Homo-oligomer: A and B are copies of this chain.
């Protein structure tokens, strides 16, 4: 019990030592944007938000600058800040770049993947194959995200992780019901398995191409749904 207290106070201490109001507010606003609580196009009133978080406008404005540079909000001089709206063509651009980053991750990972990492990815792809039969879309979605996160992580490139997560955040501003279409799941599961095969075999070009095409498939799905909806 005292440990719990010690842990929490330690955590609080570390928080105070490392985190500034600016960073805390930036994280909080970012979270609300990514969760959809703050919708694209929403006006972000400085005084209102500063009050809500119990800080003055100074730190908040600094947080806004960070979020602007992240591409999550847009600021117009003398007119205020708005949650960034990402149009279809812009989302398509981001998808292309992300596909390229996936390919890069594949190139890098194919030359360095460990047996343990292959195994960890296989655990995911195996469960995905299982899930296909159950048609558990939600579970597949989680596994899908985990799979791609791991591929990027395992590539072991900090710059890649940074750039990739940046794009993923921006794409969160564009999710218009891009839920998985059940009928597409079997194909995705197979593609994941094929990707792991390429990686495990150390085939650089095949890994890159498999990941690229897989990501571009995701883009195509996004574009379809846009026009259906």
- Chain A residues proximal to chain B, CB less than 8 Å: 17-20, 22, 58, 61-66, 68-71, 77, 90, 93-94, 96-97, 99-101, 103-104, 107-108, 157-160, 162-163, 166-167, 170, 205, 209, 212
Q: Which residue of B lies closest to A105 (CB)?
A: B100
Q: Are A163 and B160 in contact (CB under 8 A)?
A: no
Instruction: Among B58, B93, B160, point to the contact of A97 (Cβ < 8 A).
Output: B160
Q: Which residue of B lies closest to A90 (CB)?
A: B158
Q: Identify 24 residue pairs between A and B in the complex whose beta-carbon atoms are under 8 Å apart, listed by A's number.
A: A17-B77, A20-B77, A58-B58, A58-B61, A62-B62, A62-B65, A65-B69, A69-B70, A93-B158, A93-B159, A94-B159, A96-B104, A96-B160, A97-B101, A97-B104, A97-B160, A100-B100, A100-B103, A100-B104, A100-B107, A101-B101, A103-B104, A159-B167, A163-B167
* Distance from A111 Cβ to chain B, minimum over Cβ atoms (Å): 11
User: Which one of A19, A63, A65 has the highest number of Cβ atoms from chain B below 10 Å of its Cβ?
Assistant: A65
Q: Are B97 and A157 in contact (CB under 8 A)?
A: yes
Chain B residues whose C-beta falls within 8 Å of the C-beta of A167 in the assembled complex: 159, 163
Kindly list 8 other residue pairs between chains A and B, CB separation below 8 angstroms, not including A94-B159, A100-B104: A61-B62, A62-B64, A65-B65, A66-B66, A71-B162, A97-B159, A97-B163, A99-B104
